[in-house]
Amino acid sequence: MILLGAALTSTTAQAANVQKKRVLAFGASNTWGFQPVDPKERVLRRLPFSQRWTGVAQRALGRGYEIVEDALSGRTAGIDRQNAAGSQLPGSAYNGLTELPEALARNVPLDLVVLQLGTNDLMSDSNLSAEALCQRLITLCSVINRFTLPIPLEGQGKPIKAMLMAPTAIGPMPNNPNWERAETTRKRALPLLKAAGLEHGFSVFDGAQAVPAPGPDGLHFGPDGHQRLGLIASAAIREALR
């Protein structure tokens, strides 16, 4: 019995010491869990982690994976935003390209980064082409793949892999006449992103497959959409880290 107990203790210790596969979700409001604002209430609502797509993916992946978040509503794939009235953040704080290296340094060791970006670029620039959006996202993926620290970090033996969540669907927005053009550009960008992933070595999955139609504000979605998105994301993450 003593030997059996010792063997079980050893097995448990070995299992605890197995390094989890760490995944960073670097995104904007739909990773933050933003819920459409009721104009009458003007109160922000955020889904809890258990209901966000990241939490859903964590449950589906199990104990061998750890998902961490770095999400900021309004974050772009590579441009500063105009300073919003009442905001305490400068426009540069929303630029995913300048913020990504800090996020990587904060969260290493990492096996994979899932990028949920691009929608805010489409909404803020009516002239943005599918090709230009694709190039911004390729640049972010290359930042991930090339990231290193001044001194090698124990547990970070391999380059970080990049995965792109192609933007979810964009619907009617009463306060933004650019939404229809943005949705057209989003659809045009999808095959370009998939081709770029094959060429540059990053994974791509289609967020709109889970969220073909957003909520009443045209951009965000509720628990059901997050549930579907989390399950699709978990399958893509597992495949990328096989």
**What is the share, in percent, of the chain residues with pLDDT greater than 90?**
79
54 pLDDT tier (thresholds 50, 70, 90): very high
Q: What is the β-pairing status of strands 34-35 and 45-46?
A: antiparallel
Q: Is residue 181 part of a domain?
A: yes
Residues of the chain by 3-state class (helix, strand, coil), percent to 5: 45, 15, 40
Tell whether 11 is covered by a domain: no
Range name among 32-41, 43-52, 188-197 with the lowest pLDDT average: 32-41
* 76 secondary structure, DSSP code: B
β-bridge pairing 161-166 and 112-116: parallel
Region 74-84: what's the mean pLDDT? 89
Say if residues 160 and 104 touch (Cβ distance below 8 Å): yes
Whether 25 maps to a domain, the answer reads: yes
Let me know if residue 3 belongs to a domain: no
Q: Is residue 9 part of a domain?
A: no
Mention every residue, 6+ apart, whose C-beta is less than 8 A from residue 103.
Answer: 24, 26, 70
- Say what the pLDDT of residue 9 is: 45
What is the maximum alpha-carbon separation in the chain?
73
pLDDT of 91 over the 60 cut: yes
pTM reported for the whole predicted model: 0.90
User: Does 47 reside within a domain?
Assistant: yes
pLDDT of residue 103 exceeding 80, the answer is yes
- Which pLDDT score, from 0 to 100, does residue 175 have? 82
For helices 130-146 and 179-200, give the axis angle rounded to 10 degrees. 40
Q: What was the pLDDT predicted at 43?
A: 84
Name the CA dihedral angle for 46, 205, 146, 20, rounded to a multiple of 10 degrees.
Answer: 70
* Bridge partners of residue 22, in order along the sequence: 66
pLDDT digits (tens, 9 = 90+) for 165-218: 999 999 998 888 899 999 999 999 999 999 999 999 999 999 999 988 888 899
Cβ–Cβ under 8 Å, residues 49 and 43: no
Q: Count of CB atoms within 10 A of residue 184's CB? A: 13
Residue 167: is it exposed, middle or buried by C-beta count within 10 angstroms (0-12/13-18/19+)? buried
Report the CATH number that the domain containing residue 234 is assigned in CATH. Answer: 3.40.50.1110
For residue range 216-232, what is the model confidence (pLDDT) as tens digits?
899 999 999 999 999 99
If one counts the domains in the chain, the total is 1
Distance CA 103, CA 135 (A): 21
Q: 7-36: per-residue pLDDT in tens?
A: 444 444 444 456 899 999 999 999 999 998
The boundaries of the domain holding residue 39 are 21-240
